[in-house]
Amino acid sequence: MSAKYRVLITDRAWPDCEVEKRELARVDAEVIEAPPGADEAKLVECASGVDAIATCWAQVTQAVIDAAPDCKTIARLGIGLDNIDVAYATSLKIPVTNVPDYCIPEVADHAIGLMLASLRNIAFLNQQIKQGIYDLSAAPVPRRVGSLTLGLFGFGLTGQAVAERARAFGMQVIATNSSGNDYGTGTRMVAFEELLEESDVISIHAPLTDATEYQFDAAAFQKMKSTAIIVNTARGALIDFDALKTAVKNEDISGAALDVFDPEPPDLSDPFFQHDRIITTPHAAFISQESLDELRQQAACQVADVLVGKKPSNVVNPAVYE
C-alpha cells in the first residue's frame, strides 16, 4: 500500500535519509530522493506530484515548485533561504520553513577558530612545518588577541554567540545590523563605515539579500585597516570575490579566512587559494553530529506538521497564513 504523502529531498550533506524517513513515517509520508547533483530539469522531474519539498543547497526555483502543484510546504534544511524562491512560494500560499537555531554554537566556534588560525599564524606555520620549514620568523609577529577589535557584520543569534566567545579572549566587540538593535548584549552598534574603519577582524554573520549581496566590495576593502582580516562563515556572495583577491594582492587587508564561496565549490586552481594569508574550509562551519541530528529532526517535523494541517514552527513567510 502506497504512502498518503510523498516528500522530495533534493539533496543532503549526510550519508542517508533515515532520520527524515523515521520522522515523516509517523504521518504516513514516504521520502523521494533526487539523484546527487540534480540540475533544475532533474529536480522538476523528481518534484512531479510530491506533497512537500525539503532542500539543503539545491535551487528550488519557480519551475521546481510548479512541478508540484499539490506542494503544501517547502523546508530548508538549514538557515539561509537564498536557494528557495520564497516570493513565488508565498504567492502560492505555500509556507516555507527553516531551522534558524540549529548550528549556532558550531558556526560561532568555527568563526573563532578561523580567526585564531589567522591571527596566531597557526595555519601558515603548520603548513611551513609540513614542508620541512621550522622557522618562527617566517610569519609576521602577531598582536595579542585581547588587544584587538572584532567587528560583526550581522548580529543575529550567531553573531551574538561569536561576540560572547570573543569577549572571553578580551577582545573589544562592535557590530552593525539593519536595526541597530544590540538585543540587550551591551555591544556597541555602529554604522557599516565605522565597522570597516575600526575593526582588526571582521566576521560576517548576515543573511544574503539584495541589500547585502557583495556588501564587501572594493570600496569596503579600501576602508579597512591594512592589518585587518575578514572571516566569512555566512554566504559567499556577501563578498565580491574579485575585489577580495585584489585587496589581498595589494595588501589593502592582511588576509581572509573563508568557509563559504561564490560559487560553491570554488575553482581551487585559482592561485588565490595558495596564498599564505588565505585560510579556507569547505562550507564546514555548520557541521557536528549534534547539529545534524537537530537540523534533520526539526526540518522533517515541520514538514510533517504541515502535511497533517498543523502550523509549523519557524515559518519564514507567515503571510501565507493571513
Q: What are phi and psi for residue 229, nearest 5 degrees?
A: -120, 160
Q: Cα 76 to chain center, whole Å?
A: 12
Q: What is the set of active-site residues?
A: 235, 264, 283
Task: Determine the pLDDT at residue 2.
Answer: 87
pLDDT band for position 152 (cuts 50, 70, 90)? very high
Question: Is 1 a residue whose pLDDT tops 80?
Answer: no
Contacts of residue 147, defined as CB under 8 A and 6 or more positions apart, other chains included, come to 170
Spatial separation of the C-alpha atoms in residues 228 and 255, rounded to whole Å: 7
Alpha helix ranges (H) inside 169-253: 192-198, 218-223, 241-249
Spatial separation of the C-alpha atoms in residues 109 and 92, rounded to whole Å: 39
Over residues 2-23, mean pLDDT: 95
pLDDT digits (tens, 9 = 90+) for 219-243: 999 999 999 999 999 999 999 999 9
pLDDT digits (tens, 9 = 90+) for 242-254: 999 999 999 999 9
pLDDT band for position 188 (cuts 50, 70, 90)? very high
Over residues 312-322, mean pLDDT: 95
Q: 0.85 exceeded by the pTM? A: yes
pLDDT digits (tens, 9 = 90+) for 247-282: 999 999 999 999 999 999 999 999 999 999 999 999
Which residue do the cell numbers 620568523 mark?
A: 137
Task: Determine the pLDDT at residue 130.
Answer: 97
Cell of residue 321, nine digits: 497564513
Alpha helix ranges (H) inside the chain: 18-25, 40-47, 62-66, 86-91, 104-119, 122-130, 157-168, 192-198, 218-223, 241-249, 289-307
Q: What is the chain's length?
A: 322
Cell of residue 289, nine digits: 553530529
